[in-house]
Each structure stands twice: as C-alpha cells, then as structure tokens.
C-alpha cells in the first residue's frame, strides 16, 4: 500500500514537472524603481537550418523518359565525312537539354557505354563517331567512347554548380560501313549512361 502511494506521488510530481520542462526560456524583471525608469530582460531562441546535399543531372526529357537520337544517313552520303544531324531529343533535331545542379563542391561528369554500336550482324560503329556540341562552355558534354569517357569537371562558385546547356548530337560519317541499324533502344550497345559525381 505504501509502495503504491509513493508511486502515485512520484507520478503526480513528474506530471506537474513536465509542462515546466517543455516551456521556452522566459525571464521576468521586477524591481522597485521610480516611475519612468525602464526595465530590460532577455529571452533566447536558437535556430538551425539543415540543408541536405543535392546533385541533380538531366540529359534529355525531364522525368523518367529516355530520349532516342537517330541518325539517318542518305545513301549518297555514306562515309563522305559530311556530318549527319540527328532526329529526336527533347528539343528535337538531335538536341537535348542538359542540366547539372549541385551544392557541395566540384562535380565530375562522364558518359558510359558498354561497347561500340552493333548492328546484330557482326559489324560496329564506335561511339566516338557521335559528336556532342554544347552551347554553354561551362557545361561541356563528355566526349563519347566505347567505354567510360574522360571526366568533365564542373567547377563550383561558392560550392554551387548550376549549369544548363543544349547538347547537339551529330554523326561524323567518316567511314563507309556495312548496311544496318547500329544500336537502338537499349539494344546493341545503343544506350549511353551519363553519370555525375560530387564529393
């Protein structure tokens, strides 16, 4: 019985103390002073703002869609070194939107391919035959290869990278190659993956 009474008393004391523990800081200044004399007191609040690291990369259409760039070479132009413009891309005409945003320092950007473009008949065209021109020198496109490209380094300003560009793809058309469709929608090494990295 005594133990139960002590527990009830302790619970009551804790219940009364909890509201006091949760209160913000407050002070009162009270002293007998002549009329017209001001009083001063202080209270404090501590603020924190937590900003997460962000790294955003877009090449082509926004969202989950994957753009397809197609180069249709006219029969009379095969291998004549006249570059061939692409079709497709979110901006059409073989042009895509490129955006990199980051808030924690230098960003490196590369492009990764699983090998040369294949036509399913034993023939290939190197990804290096596809060139990429950027309209923003601060966001150059990685030079495509049949593996992982060399890194492009994006230098931050005050730790921030916020660059956008239009990348225009062309097929160099520098050699006569066997007929066929090389690459495709995630087949025959047609897909290139762009990757951005930030410390």
Confidence at residue 14, expressed as pLDDT on a 0 to 100 scale: 45
* Residue at 91 is within a domain: yes
Mean pLDDT over each residue of the chain, to the nearest integer: 90
* Residue at 7 is within a domain: no
pTM for the full predicted model: 0.81
- Cα–Cα distance for residue pair 87/95, rounded to 1 Å: 8
pLDDT tens per residue across span 92-150: 999 999 999 999 999 999 999 999 999 999 999 999 999 999 999 999 999 999 999 99
* Residue at 50 is within a domain: no
Residues 6+ away with beta carbon under 8 Å from 13: none
Range of the domain at 77: 55-197
* Residue at 42 is within a domain: no
Task: Please check the confidence at residue 3 and state whether its pLDDT lies above 50.
Answer: no
Task: State the average pLDDT over residues 51-66.
Answer: 96
* Residue at 18 is within a domain: no
* Residue at 49 is within a domain: no
Which helix (H) or strand (E) segment is 14 a member of? helix 2-22
* Residue at 29 is within a domain: no
Secondary-structure breakdown of the chain: helix, strand, coil percentages, each rounded to the nearest 5: 15, 25, 60
Between 192 and 20, where is the model more confident?
192
pLDDT tens per residue across span 27-38: 776 667 778 788
Q: What CATH code is carried by the domain that includes residue 106?
A: 2.60.40
Residues 6+ away with beta carbon under 8 Å from 157: none
- Binned at pLDDT 50, 70 and 90, residue 195 comes out as very high
Q: How many domains does the chain have?
A: 1
């Amino acid at each position: 019985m005594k133990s139960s009474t002590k527990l009830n008393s302790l619970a009551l004391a804790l219940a009364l103390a909890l509201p006091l523990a949760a209160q913000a800081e407050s002070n009162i200044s009270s002293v007998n002073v002549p009329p017209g004399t001001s009083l001063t007191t202080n209270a404090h609040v501590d603020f924190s703002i937590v900003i997460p690291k962000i790294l955003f990369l877009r090449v082509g259409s926004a969202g989950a869609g994957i753009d397809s760039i197609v180069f249709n070479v006219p029969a009379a132009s095969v291998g004549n070194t006249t570059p061939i413009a692409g079709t497709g891309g979110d901006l059409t005409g073989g042009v895509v939107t490129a955006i990199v945003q980051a808030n924690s320092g230098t960003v490196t950007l590369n492009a990764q391919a699983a090998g040369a473009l294949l036509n399913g008949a034993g023939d290939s065209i190197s990804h290096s035959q596809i060139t990429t021109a950027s309209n923003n020198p601060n966001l150059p496109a990685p030079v495509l290869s049949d593996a992982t490209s060399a890194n492009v380094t994006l230098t931050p300003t005050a730790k921030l990278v916020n660059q956008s560009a239009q990348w225009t793809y062309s097929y160099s058309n520098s050699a006569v190659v066997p007929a066929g469709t090389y690459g495709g929608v995630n087949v025959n090494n047609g897909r290139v993956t762009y990757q951005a990295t930030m410390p």
